[in-house]
Amino acid sequence: MRQGQALGLIEDLSTERADHEGFATISLGASDSAKSLAVNPVSHQKTLLRRTMRGVRRTLAAADGQAAVRAADHAPLARLGAGPVAGYIAQGAELDPAPLMAVLAEAGVNLALPTALSRDAPLIFRAWTPGAALSPDAFGIPAPLADQPQVAPMALIVPLLAFDRRGGRLGQGAGVYDRAIAALGAEHRPFLLGYAYAGQEIEDLPVEPHDQRLDAILTEAGLIEVR
């Protein structure tokens, strides 16, 4: 989906109720939305686009139950290396990386998952193997048990609401991944692989200085190298 198409859906989705996919989000009323526009127009654009793209992603997920399997067929093993590669446990309509992580595990790649120790602290990453026990973290998302070693991932498989071919990524709005990547430091910045349905692409995402850009995007249609 291109940006013009996505933005054309905003009016229909402007009253969207609270979203329960992954991390908590805030639904703005009319007065709050006006204040947001006055303070930060780019942030306001992103808020509107999130409302649209949540609906788009739900539609894509409902229409294609095999997209994750096809995406795994395009696994960029050479780009991801031996790991650790941190994936995620899909929430709501997020494209499920489980098939991709199974391919990586079969290839001998070391895997990890994010863990939120609190809602305010940056994510950490703990070693994980497919089928290992999980326990809810501070966000209620399944995560490796506390006795699993903490690792510094060489690559992250990152969920998103929308992406563009310049590496722009629109997340849920809580800044969880941006803070986690920043906390790893410039010397240890991992390779960032966005993971999404092809229909989540738009032409030109609004971005802010703190937004971490993707290095590539993997969809059911194949690997997209960032320009």
Q: Encode pLDDT of 34-69 as tens digits.
A: 554 556 788 889 999 999 999 999 999 999 999 999
d(CA 24, CA 141): 12
d(CA 127, CA 83): 10
For 5-23, what is each residue's pLDDT tens digit?
A: 444 443 343 333 333 334 3
Structure tokens at 118: 């609190």
Calculate mean pLDDT across residues 112-135: 95
Enter the pTM of the model.
0.82
d(CA 51, CA 9): 9
Strand, coil or helix: what is 227? coil
d(CA 167, CA 20): 26
- Percentage of the chain lying above the pLDDT 90 cut: 68
Mean pLDDT, the chain, whole residue set: 85
- Model pLDDT, residue 38: 53
Calculate mean pLDDT across residues 205-216: 89
Closest CA to 124 of 189, 193, 184: 184
Does 3.40.50.10420 match the CATH number of domain 67-225?
A: yes
